[in-house]
Amino acid sequence: MRYVVLVLAIIISLHFILSFSHEEYGRATSLSHLSEQFKGSQPHPPYQDGVPEEYYAQPSAPAQGRRANATFVFLARNGDLGGVVTSMKQVEDRFNKEFQYPYVFLNEEPFSDEFKERVQTLTDSKIEFGLIPKEDWVQPEWIDEERAAAARKKMADDKVIYGGSVPYRNMCRFNSGFFYRHELLHKYKYYWRVEPDVTFFCDLHYDPFLLMQDQKKVYGFTISLYEYPATIPTLWDSVKEFIKENPDLVEPDNAMKFISDDEGNSYNNCHFWSNFEIGDLDFWRGEAYSKFFDFLDKKGGFYYEVSNITVGLCERQADQVLQRWGDAPVHSIGAALFAKKDQIHFFNDIGYRHNPFQHCPQGELHKKGKCWCDPKDNFDYEWYSCLKHYDALFA
């Protein structure tokens, strides 16, 4: 009897398998085909059966104890929503659900209701959405538009990524010199900058803002790297000019050795990768950096072509996706010149990726953070990394 059932079962399965033509098979397994069919299907009420409330654990009380005067900062467009929630969910899970620091979102256009709802869903923390004042975003009127347009055209003709783009230049200039002056940031001292589509690999059970505060740090990074050399000389000439005019603003115990191998004569192209930053807003708002930014800004370099290869202070070469002229070198040079070198902190325990590089904590730190990155995939001492120059500051 058992054999009969088995044989029957085999015959029936064979029948189904064989009667399924290749064409049908292809159609049934093509997900894109299936999803096509669902497109335009009627909206229906949400599925009702949830798990009863009593099965849920009580939410833990908000973090108690000492807190820093700090916030997360996102600069983003409505169109960045997908990448923003990806990043933010990780910030919450790896760190912030324990600490509940607030968020500030900035945009030169109003955030959509969808954007606001989707990000508020991810956290119990306060979120504020700020509009960037037009005068902090658009090309200032004292910029010679004819010259700027010519620069953009040349960049576009040379197929430099973003070269023809005014918004990208606006963004770089804003990040270099304006985000920390936005009114929503006045009430904070520390910030953690987060970009869309980044990855945080490790649990962080301590408060990096309190570390900044207690140790009087002003700038924290995870990845540092070289800038494409051809874009540097004009920026460095301006930096040297600034130093010459304002020697008293330069910190004697500075980190010049991180950015120059010949005591400031030339730039070694090192910069901290500014898509991740934990920093002191008052440092940017202070006299030295403010004057420095204004000086660079007046040079017009954020908009004009300033050398034969590049460009404004915010460009990337088509064949050099690695590099990014903009707030990264400007912030880095500012931090290196105006802060004490031991006020710049390497967050070794924060596993972090912004394509195409990642910092993966090694050894004990990897275990401690329950990091999920492959420790072998770690940029720290790759040839293109500048961490060795940072180490040399303290050697």
Positions in the binding site for ligand NAG (CB under 6 A): 69, 187-189, 230, 282, 308-309
> Residue 140 belongs to what H/E stretch?
none
- Strands 219-221 and 344-346, sheet pairing: parallel
Q: What is the largest CA-CA distance in the chain?
A: 100
Q: How many CA atoms, within 13 angstroms, populate the side-chain half-sphere of residue 328?
A: 24
Q: Which does 215 bind (CB under 5 to 8 A by kind): ligand NAG, Mg ion, ligand GTP, none?
A: none
Q: Which residues contact 320 (CB under 8 A, 6 or more apart)?
A: 228
Q: Does 107 bind ligand GTP (CB under 6 A)?
A: yes
Whole-angstrom distance, CA of residue 21 vs CA of residue 94 = 49
Whole-angstrom distance, CA of residue 310 vs CA of residue 324 = 11
Residue from the set 108, 136, 158, 203 that interacts with ligand GTP by CB under 6 A: 108
Tokens of 353: 């990726």
Q: Which does 378 bind (CB under 5 to 8 A by kind): Mg ion, ligand NAG, ligand GTP, none?
A: none
Q: Does 80 bind Mg ion (CB under 5 A)?
A: no
Q: Does 88 bind ligand GTP (CB under 6 A)?
A: no
Q: What are phi and psi of 199, to 5 degrees?
A: -125, 135
How many residues in the shown chain lie near ligand GTP by CB under 6 A? 12
Tokens of 20: 């399924």
Q: Which does 75 bind (CB under 5 to 8 A by kind): Mg ion, ligand GTP, ligand NAG, none?
A: ligand GTP
Q: CA–CA distance from 213 to each of 80, 95, 189, 210, 281 (Å)? A: 31, 18, 9, 5, 12
Whole-angstrom distance, CA of residue 347 vs CA of residue 389 = 16
Q: Does 269 bind ligand GTP (CB under 6 A)?
A: no
Residues in contact with ligand GTP, shown as a per-residue x/- string from 189 to 228 under the rule CB under 6 A: ------xx--------------------------------
Q: CA–CA distance from 225 to each of 14, 127, 273, 276 (Å)? A: 60, 32, 7, 13
Provide the minimum distance between the beta carbon of 131 and ligand NAG in the complex, in angstroms, as a whole number: 21
Q: What are phi and psi of 218, to 5 degrees?
A: -120, -20
- Strands 190-193 and 277-280, sheet pairing: antiparallel
Active site residue 277: yes
Considering the complex, state which of residue 90 and residue 231 has its C-beta at the smaller distance from ligand NAG. Answer: 231
Task: Given the residues 92, 227, 277, 315, select the one marked as catalytic.
Answer: 277
Tokens of 211: 């570390």
Q: Which does 80 bind (CB under 5 to 8 A by kind): Mg ion, ligand NAG, ligand GTP, none?
A: ligand GTP
Residue from the set 77, 97, 154, 345 that interacts with ligand GTP by CB under 6 A: 77
Provide the minimum distance between the beta carbon of 315 and ligand GTP in the complex, in angstroms, as a whole number: 10
Provide the minimum distance between the beta carbon of 169 and Mg ion in the complex, in angstroms, as a whole number: 15
Considering the complex, state which of residue 41 and residue 265 has its C-beta at the smaller distance from ligand NAG. Answer: 265
- Interface residues toward ligand GTP, by CB under 6 A: 75-77, 80, 107-108, 167, 171, 195-196, 275, 324
- Interface residues toward Mg ion, by CB under 5 A: 195, 275
Active site positions, annotated: 277
